[in-house]
Structures are given as structure tokens and as C-alpha cells.
A and B are shown apart, each in its own frame.
Chain A
Amino acid sequence: MFRRLSDRRESSVSFTFNGVPTMARHGDSVAAALLAAGHCSTRRTPVSGAARGPYCMMGVCFECLVKIDGRPNRQACLTTVVEGMRVETQDGAAMPGREE
């Protein structure tokens, strides 16, 4: 779905998405890293369960909400990936406090 331009030379960072080890580049937002790894659907809506993915990439639409290190409702496009980060899809309404 997205590919990295060959002239970009940022170093690699690894994180997990739904438990699966995934590579990103230094400076990527979580949303950019997920798109780069081929995931354009990153949550299911609380109303109908429809699949959604990042839409605006600038913190406006809230379509890219994911769970990060156990905390739900994080905006993936406004969060920078760091080494070892744990990212999970959010299916339906994620209630704070129900996290592990």
C-alpha cells in the first residue's frame, strides 16, 4: 500500500503490532509505521464494527485510534514510534480502566 522512498536513510526501530514484531523507521508516527507495514485497517468502529484506518494523518479525524502500551484511544498519527512499543488494534469502544 505504501513503500519507502529509496533515498530515505533513517535508522530502524522495532515495535509490535497485535503481538507481531514489526519494523519502522526512526521518526515514524505509529500510523505511518502501520501503513508502511501494510496495515491500512487499524480498528473497528464501536457503532457498526466497520473496519477503519488512518484518514487525515494530522490529528483531526481520530480514525487511527489504537491501543499503545496498554493505553486505549491513542492517536496513532500523533504518536512517534519508540523501540519496543506495543501497539494493538482497537475493536469497538475501548474503555480506559479495562486495560490489563
Chain B
Amino acid sequence: MIQNIQSAADLAPAYDLVVVGAGPAGLSAAIEASTHGLAVLLADENDSPGGQIYRSVERASDADLARMGPDYAAGRMLIERFRRADLSYARRATVWNVGPADEETCDGAHALEVGIALGGIARPIAAHRVILATGALERPFPFPGWTMPGVMAAGAAQILMKSSGLVPSGRTILAGTGPLLYLLASQLLRAGVSVTAVVDTTPVENWRSALPHLLGFATSPYALKGLKLLLEVHRRTRVIRGVTAIETVGSAQFSALRVHRGNKPLRIEGDLLLLHQGIAPNLNLALAAGCDYVWDERLAAFRPAVDVRGASSVPGVSIAGDAAGIVGAVASARQGELAGLSAALDLNRIDQGAYEQRRNELARKLARALRGRAFIEHRFRPGKRFRVPEDDGTIVCRCEEITAVKLREVAALGVPGPNQMKAFTRCGMGPCQGRLCGLTAAELLAQCRNVPPGEVGYYRLRPPIKPVTLGELAALPHTDAAIVAVAGFVERAADGAQDVTNGSHQ
């Protein structure tokens, strides 16, 4: 049976495996490893398991399941298996660091240390293996006005529908590209929302690079689903194509979108604008752990470098699912299982023969789940002009309100990478830690320097990758040496005081 960790005090000091993230990859990795007898802790920041795709599916009603579709409902079985697995689950937990074990505090047996904050207390947890299943983020979508109230990410609307049964009450405009944009449009329409328009920013020239991959797509389960989705959305709302630029009208609150296509701009009135132009791997924890990463031109995003088993460049740390490259829910689950299986082999909980048999089975299923992805990636690759804002006044860094022109000025000074740009402008230094500007800043700088984004690289990320309060850090256990280094002495409790803490004092 699953053990629900309620507070930091319930955490064991060490686990065989710590999995971060409770989406399809993380759940599958944890279940797989636990069936081979590993002591597994799964830590996740949300209230309930499922990640973004299966959010709140456990308490979904039949009406919810009908609205969200069968791909959402499929999450129920996975979560039921998870609830029955023999492992520990810490919800509402913040993982703020993964790294090599501290030489002073470690037990010598475990190679890795995971920093977890739970209920106001931070704890270092030792682990033999760590699997990062931190999923994906929606790509930044910078254009004039994307920061104003009334403009939200498409994923946000999906989350509101799944977790709270909330749908937009006014005229709703969807803008961007990708299968999720059309999926959301159909989900909103099914819920009776007034979808005024879908403003499709997919570059027309994408067909050229997508066409060679059409056969693989046509024979994949994506084809029929995708076609039905497109037809449904086209039948029930207005789809605007050939779009070259968009901007909001007004300044205080979203009221209308100006759409540029051909030579006459179009004005669409609305109460809510939902944006989506694909998703990108959530890198922060992997990079803070020191994992190598590469620029993936097809994804137009950075992703961690991993081998076929999901192993990163940091010994003992694997990455599975969308966190390692965008693969979708089903393939993410298979990658999670492969990573969990590999951990079992590494820790000698499974013999080579059984491992190979299971691995081959999972690899076959993974290959099947990945069929059709290449077409989707090429077909819906967001255009450069929507990734790097041409308009100089566009805010790139939402937290510090840094505009494209400011970054171009600094780029012209010859800064080599986004870290120097950050030091000059504060771009990426706000509370989101670059999650909403990192890709834009790197691509903008690469464009200015006329080099590939891989050459300028990404922000250097350091722990804590999520805000941790001083109170939480102060609650960390400290060695005598560390206390002496700061305070100069160690306070020893008197005998009487010890009695009081033990409760034996009369």
C-alpha cells in the first residue's frame, strides 16, 4: 500500500530511489521501481497525483470525463495502480535541489542528495538514484500585451476546467499553434463556451518539412484523433490562418486582439485571450543538478542530454518523459517505466535476463507510442517571429519587465551568453527564474550574434530552483562543524534541558 507522507517528519532519511513529479512519467517510474522491491519516494508539488495532463482525474465526474476526452480518462487507471503500489508519496512537496551527497552530512552509502521542503520544513534526503519527471512548460509567447490581465496560457484554462470546473464566461479567443490549442478549443466548445475565434499562427511553410513524415503520422493513432478534432473546431468556430503577427488592443485589461495577415489587420473583440504555441521541457531541476543539455532544433528548445535508458550526464540521475524532450503522455509513461527498470538493474534488484525481457517489451511499446511525433513536431513548430519578438517594446522577461529592445542593446555590446545578459539587465532574475523568458532570451541573443542557440546556451541555474523560506532552511539539520563555522561554538544542552525535551522531567 502507498504511504502518504504528511509532514517532513514522516520522511525516511534515505530511499533507494527518489522520483520527482507525479505525471505519467513519474508515476510509471515509481510503480515500476517499487514492483522490483526498491524503496521509492515520489515527491510532487501538487495536491493530487496526475501531473498537468491527468490533473484532478481521480475526482472527475462522468460529465468531466466526457468533456475532457478519453486521453484524460486514461489517467485514472494509472493513478489507481499508483495508489496500490508499495511506495511513499509526498504531495505538496517542493524539491529545490538535486545533487551529489554532502561530504560532511552523508552516510557514505548514498551518492545523491535531494532537497525537499514539506509543510514549512526543509530536509535533505539521501538516494541511490533520482528520476526527474518534471514534465514540460508551455513555451513563452511574447508579443505586445501578453502580460495584461485577461491574457492567459491555454494550459491554465485546461487546469481551471479540470480542477475546479471553471470555464470562461465571456467571449474567448484562442491564439497560437499546436495540437493542444485545438484540443482546448474542442473541450471549451463541448462545455458550451463562446469561442469567438481560433487565431492559428502555424507558419504555412511548415508543411514542407512535415510532409516527409506524413506516412508515419497517418498510420499512428494521432491521425484519426487529430482529424476529428480539426473538423470539430472548424465546424463550430472561426479559424483564422496565415497570421503574421498579433497584439492586444488597450493597456489595462484585455478587450480585443489585433491580428495581422496580408495587408489589412483584423480586430477581434473578446474578454479572454488564451495562448499556446507548444510545450518545452521543464529544465530547471535537471540543469541545477548539473545535467548536460543540448539545443534541439526540431523542438526549438533546449533539452537535457540523455541516453536510451534516460540516464543524464550526472551519475545516478535519469530524466523521463517530457522533461527530457516532448513525447506525450503515453510515451512518457513508457520512458518512466524504462528509467524505473534501469534503477532496479543498477541496484541489483533484478537479474540481467528478466531486465532484458522487460526492457525489450517496453522499448517496443515506446517506439509505437512515438510514431507520428515527428510529423506533429514539424507541422506545428512555432514560427521564429512568434518565438523572438520583432516588436522592440514587447516584454520578454515578465518578472523584471525587460523589453526586447533592451536585450538587443545589450546583445549589441557583445555579451557571449544569457548569463551575462541577465547580469546586465536582470532578464531572468525574477521569481520565475527564467521559466517564462529563458527560451526567448537565448534565441534573441543567438539571432543578434548570428549563431545557433546551442552556442549561446541557457541560464546557469542553481539551487534552490523554487523559493524556499529562511525558516524552511533554518529547519535543516546542521553538523557541528557547520554550526561552528557560522556561530563559532556549539551550544550543548544541559542535562535538565534534555530531560525536558525527552518529557521525563517531573
Known contacts A57-B155, A59-B45, A60-B436: does B149 contact A27 (CB below 8 Å)?
no
Decide if A36 touches B436 in the complex (CB within 8 Å).
no
Interchain nearest-CB distance for B170 vs A (Å): 6
Q: Mark A16-58, 1 if CB is under 8 A from B, else 0.
A: 0000000001011100110110001100010110111111111
Residue B10, interface by CB 8 Å: no
Decide if B400 touches A47 in the complex (CB within 8 Å).
yes
Interchain nearest-CB distance for A45 vs B (Å): 6
Decide if A5 touches B63 in the complex (CB within 8 Å).
yes
B residues near A48, Cβ cutoff 8 Å: 401
Q: Describe B's contact surface by its main secondary structure.
A: loop
Which stretch in B158-166, B218-226, B410-418 binds the other chain?
A: B158-166
> Total A-B residue pairs with C-beta atoms closer than 8 Å?
124
A residues near B163, Cβ cutoff 8 Å: 27-29, 32
Task: Identify which of A55, A59, A96 gathers the most chain B CB atoms within 10 Å of its CB.
Answer: A55
Q: Mark A52-83, 1 if CB is under 8 A from B, else 0.
A: 11111111111101000000010001101000
Decide if B149 touches A57 in the complex (CB within 8 Å).
no
A41, B149: Cα distance in complex, Å:
5
Decide if B164 touches A29 in the complex (CB within 8 Å).
yes
Interchain nearest-CB distance for B449 vs A (Å): 27
Residue B430, interface by CB 8 Å: yes
Decide if B149 touches A5 in the complex (CB within 8 Å).
no
A62 CB contact (under 8 Å) in B155, B166, B399: B399
Decide if B401 touches A45 in the complex (CB within 8 Å).
yes
Residue B432, interface by CB 8 Å: yes
A residues near B272, Cβ cutoff 8 Å: 1
* Residue ID in chain A nearest B433 by CB atoms: A62
Residue A98, interface by CB 8 Å: no
Decide if B59 touches A55 in the complex (CB within 8 Å).
no
Task: Identify which of A7, A51, A57, A80 gathers the most chain B CB atoms within 10 Å of its CB.
Answer: A57
* Residue ID in chain A nearest B252 by CB atoms: A51
Instruction: Count how many chain A residues have C-beta atoms less than 8 Å from C-beta atoms of the other chain.
Output: 42
B436 CB contact (under 8 Å) in A2, A50, A61: A61
Decide if A4 touches B155 in the complex (CB within 8 Å).
no
Task: Identify which of B137, B148, B166 gathers the most chain A CB atoms within 10 Å of its CB.
Answer: B166
B148 CB contact (under 8 Å) in A3, A9, A51, A59: A51
Decide if B432 touches A40 in the complex (CB within 8 Å).
no
A61, B56: Cα distance in complex, Å:
21
Residue B152, interface by CB 8 Å: yes
Decide if A2 touches B400 in the complex (CB within 8 Å).
no
B residues near A33, Cβ cutoff 8 Å: 164
A2, B400: Cα distance in complex, Å:
28
Binding site for B on A (CB under 8 A): 1-5, 7-10, 25, 27-29, 32-33, 35-36, 40-41, 45, 47-48, 50-63, 65, 73, 77-78, 80, 96
Binding site for A on B (CB under 8 A): 45-47, 52, 56, 59, 61, 63-64, 137-138, 147-153, 155-156, 159-161, 163-170, 191, 252-253, 271-272, 282, 398-401, 430-432, 435-436, 467, 469
Further contacts, 6 of them, CB under 8 A, given A50-B401, A62-B431: A3-B169, A29-B163, A56-B137, A57-B156, A60-B436, A63-B398
- Top-8 shortest CB links A-B: A8-B165, A57-B156, A3-B169, A41-B149, A53-B149, A62-B431, A7-B63, A57-B159
Can you pick out 20 interface pairs between chain A and chain B where the beta carbons lie within 8 Å of each other?
Answer: A1-B170, A2-B168, A3-B167, A3-B168, A5-B63, A7-B64, A32-B160, A32-B164, A41-B253, A48-B401, A50-B147, A53-B152, A55-B151, A56-B152, A57-B156, A57-B160, A60-B432, A77-B159, A78-B46, A80-B47
